[in-house]
Structure 1
């Protein structure tokens, strides 16, 4: 395992005694897209919230770039190079595109923010066209682009995307996945939580399948796409 990567071992978490995650281990190497897959309620979002510092693991270990992070608060995790783009986009609807982006750079020096905004606009030209528009007035796909761009404003080495295609039309979903590939090509690692297995595994280097709070399968994107269990359980084949 590279010292620059993410390593998660034996995570567990319960909500008021109801077990949500019981045994999740995974790795994300530098420059990889890794998909975290499973049905609703499988434990995917709980897992990434623990990695991002939103939830404190009740068991297990998390390390990134050689530093132990299990139980660290979210602001510390962001400063160490991990950002979470949460499910549901959660942009600030009464703020403009520009203001949303600037909030994403809150840990950065003021002098660096203009350059980060320019970087975001190069990756997401549509946002540049709408820089003064209120986020709440944009389409779902545009809001998802903004949420991803805002997550990149902290200059992460690893970005976690929780259900980025949720609620989007198929043609918009394809565009979002193209943007995820573009982000990855800049050298940023991606941990991708998705129910759209076919799209996720098409772009992922590797993937993990979670069922009832535990990893039940792991392999390359192509291996998982060809796996008979994945095809029966998730692709209806």
Structure 2
């Protein structure tokens, strides 16, 4: 059974179709990349999966349960968290306070252990636990955003453009951390414009164009695909 099954999703903003007919799956323990240019429908797709937007057509199932139209706070409780584009940490709150907010669906007695797990995976955050999030670098804020998403103990974490605006050396560190998260048994749906980095770590990927899936395959297959190389990698 797929961890996540999405079929025929469609969504329009004020009559303008952003997603036309998107179907995809994420198997347990996989990293799946969702790729495409700006405006291809990637963020709209993951917002529907996360319950932020209600699909106008199509169906979402997770762990065998129907998820179509389930509000976002219930989606989190069922095991899916979204780390949105732009990091969106709470800048006037400390690292510790941001992490504690990420555990809002957990019992109070569980929070301390979850924080320590986050600090083990992200030791730089442990060093900055009392620092205001807004005073940290972009890479550190991205680490905090991912760590906050993990505080709900998701089975699937959705990362929307985690490398956006980061320097190449920081981007490499973020992708290394994504692999480390996945090795803990957490499935990852990764939205990225950095196709080379995303497909290097992804088990499989889907390429969106104008709101529809135009290609699907393993990471290696998509990296070797002439269309992908010409359209996205400049080869």
After superposition, the C-alpha distances for 1:148-197 in whole angstroms (9 at most, x for unaligned) are: 00000000000000000000000000000000000000000000000000
After superposition, the C-alpha distances for 1:209-230 in whole angstroms (9 at most, x for unaligned) are: 0000000000000000000000
User: How many Å separate the matches in 2 of 1:31 and 1:121?
Assistant: 22
Q: Residue 103 of structure 2 is aligned with which of 95, 105, 112?
A: 105
Q: Residue 51 of structure 1 is aligned with which of 49, 52, 56?
A: 49
Q: Residue 64 of structure 1 is aligned with which of 62, 86, 91?
A: 62
The match for 2:224 is: 226
Q: CA offset at residue 145 of structure 1?
A: 0.0
| Runs of 5+ consecutive residues of structure 1 not aligned to the other structure | none
After superposition, the C-alpha distances for 1:67-90 in whole angstroms (9 at most, x for unaligned) are: 000111000100000000000000
Superposed, which structure 2 residues align to 1:133-172 within 5 Å? 133-172=131-170
User: How many Å separate the matches in 1 of 2:70 and 2:56?
Assistant: 13
User: How many Å separate the matches in 2 of 1:220 and 1:108?
Assistant: 35
The RMSD of aligned alpha carbons is 0.4
The match for 1:235 is: 233
User: How many Å separate the matches in 2 of 1:170 and 1:25?
Assistant: 31
Aligned residue pair count: 235
User: How many Å separate the matches in 2 of 1:70 and 1:168?
Assistant: 33
Mapped pair 1:79 → 2:77: yes
SS at match of 2:158: strand
User: How many Å separate the matches in 2 of 1:68 and 1:135?
Assistant: 36
SS at match of 1:215: strand
Q: Residue 132 of structure 1 is aligned with which of 122, 130, 146?
A: 130
| Runs of 5+ consecutive residues of structure 2 not aligned to the other structure | none
User: How many Å separate the matches in 2 of 1:151 and 1:45?
Assistant: 17
Q: CA offset at residue 205 of structure 1?
A: 0.1
User: How many Å separate the matches in 2 of 1:23 and 1:122?
Assistant: 40
TM superposition score normalised by structure 1: 0.99
The match for 2:22 is: 24
